[in-house]
Structure 1
Amino acid sequence: MKEEKIIDKENIIGSNIRRIRIENQIGQTELIRELQLNKIDMTRETLVKIEGGRQHIKLIQLKAIRDILNVTYDDLLN
Structure 2
Amino acid sequence: MKGLSFMKKRNWIGSNLKKIRLLNGLSQEQLIAQLNLLGLDLDRTSLSRIENQNREVYDYELVYFSKALKVNIVDLYDDIDL
TM-score range, shorter chain: 0.7 to 0.9
- Structure with higher Rg: it is 2
Q: Which runs of 4+ in 1 moved over 3 A?
A: 8-12
Q: Larger % of helix: which?
A: 2
Q: Kindly tell me the number of residue pairs found equivalent between the two proteins.
A: 71
- Partners of 2:33 and 2:48 in 1: CA distance: 14
The percent of aligned pairs where both chains have the same amino acid is: 34
Please give the TM-score of this superposition, normalised by the length of structure 1.
0.82
Q: Give the alignment's Cα RMSD to 1 decimal.
A: 1.7
- Describe how 1:1-78 pairs up with structure 2 within 5 A: 9=9, 11-78=11-78
Q: Larger % of strand: which?
A: 1
5+ residue gaps in structure 1?
Answer: 1-7
Amino acid at match of 1:41: D
Please give the TM-score of this superposition, normalised by the length of structure 2.
0.78
Secondary structure of the corresponding residue to residue 12 of structure 1? coil
